[in-house]
Amino acid sequence: MAVDLARRLGFLVLTLLVSSVVIFAVCAWLPGDPATTLLGTQATPGAVRQLRHQLGTDRPITTQYVSWLGGLVHGDFGRSYITRLHVWPQIESRLAVTGSLVLVGMVFALLIAVPFGIFAAMRHRKFSGLLASGLSQLGLAIPAFWVGILLSFLFAVKLRLLPPGGYTPFRQDPGEWLRHLVLPGISLALVQGAVLSRYVRAAVLDVLREDYIRTARAGGATLSQALWRHGLRNAAIPVVTVLGLQLATLLVGAIVIESVFTMPGLGLMLLQAVGNRDLVLVEGTVMLLVGAVLILNFCVDLLYLLLDPRLRRTR
């Protein structure tokens, strides 16, 4: 168990290191120059060289990467090219918005996927089960931003039941915090819920064909009782796998949803930073998002060991 945990932890560190190289290289190879962007096209070559020296972009690329990586290790994400402020406080102020949106979106997705997938599996030979599968297929084809626009028009503009956008911190007003997250959370969750429901359906169908389910049925248990007592834990293993992968999709989808509902989160900040050529802010934000996805997947791997004892190896 300890050896397996150490191996997985080492792989996580290696993956984070490779990710940092890729992120820094991609940002360095992007066309354009931060110094030219800041000074404008009418700036003299001498002024551009001087600003490049101040920003540190005239150093060799390997030196810049080592300096940036060393700052990350010590919790320093660098300074913004545009505002010359530290990057981490800017990220931290918006992290709660994106985190809240992803959390609410994941909760809504599970509330949609788990009962929907179990229902479709238990009635897979009946019309209602086929209809549920068809609806999940339809959910895959609907863009999240289109759902967001439609929900905002219906519930915010026409019915005036929920706010059309913005964000209220949880500490300030928990009720308003939730009201502002309902529409973007549902917009983010519908597509993810459709994806997850299909995996839930497939996992439950596999479990229903197992011998121990038939044995439980022979002992007098109903199909629902046999599934609840003996099957859901085994069915949860592939679902947890997909759930870990879907977290990355939720983070990417949150960028689009934040733009639709004008939420001051990491997604909106990232789009503005790319437009302003604020590469330090882009690198820090993307590295944080990638690190969050990798760490969450690492936690999912550990959850496997709790759900399936067969994965635990002793030496």
Q: Looking at the structure, tell me whether residues 176 and 256 fall in a common domain.
A: yes
Q: What pLDDT shows up at residue 179? A: 92
Residue pLDDT, tens place only, 103-146: 999 899 889 888 888 888 888 778 887 788 777 777 777 888 88
In-domain check, residue 185: yes
* 301 pLDDT higher than 90: no
In-domain check, residue 128: yes
What's the pLDDT band for 312 if we cut at 50, 70, 90? low
Q: What is the mean pLDDT of the chain?
A: 82
What's the pLDDT band for 211 if we cut at 50, 70, 90? confident
Alpha-carbon distance 306 to 126, whole Å?
A: 35
Q: What pLDDT shows up at residue 314? A: 47
Q: Check which CATH number belongs to the domain holding 187 and give it.
A: 1.10.3720.10
In-domain check, residue 297: yes
CB-count burial class (<10 Å; 0-12, 13-18, 19+) for 192? buried
Q: Looking at the structure, tell me whether residues 52 and 196 fall in a common domain.
A: no
What's the pLDDT band for 36 if we cut at 50, 70, 90? confident
In-domain check, residue 190: yes
User: How many other C-beta atoms lie within 10 A of the C-beta of residue 231?
Assistant: 21
pTM of the model: 0.78
Q: What pLDDT shows up at residue 311? A: 56
Residue 79, SS3 per DSSP: strand
Q: Looking at the structure, tell me whether residues 279 and 240 fall in a common domain.
A: yes
Q: Is 86 left (phi over 0), alpha (psi -120 to 50) or beta?
A: beta
End-to-end CA distance of the chain: 8
Q: Looking at the structure, tell me whether residues 131 and 171 fall in a common domain.
A: yes
Q: What pLDDT shows up at residue 21? A: 93
Q: Looking at the structure, tell me whether residues 49 and 110 fall in a common domain.
A: no
Q: Looking at the structure, tell me whether residues 156 and 11 fall in a common domain.
A: no
Buried b (16+ CB within 10 A) or exposed e, 155-185: bbeeeeebbbbebbeeeeeeeebeebbbbbb
Q: How many domains does the chain have?
A: 2
Domain endpoint, select from 73, 108, 125 = 73
Contacts of 304 (CB under 8 A, 6+ apart): 237, 240, 241, 311
Q: What pLDDT shows up at residue 217? A: 73
Domain that holds residue 199: 87-311
Q: Looking at the structure, tell me whether residues 92 and 223 fall in a common domain.
A: yes
Q: Looking at the structure, tell me whether residues 274 and 306 fall in a common domain.
A: yes
Q: Looking at the structure, tell me whether residues 268 and 134 fall in a common domain.
A: yes
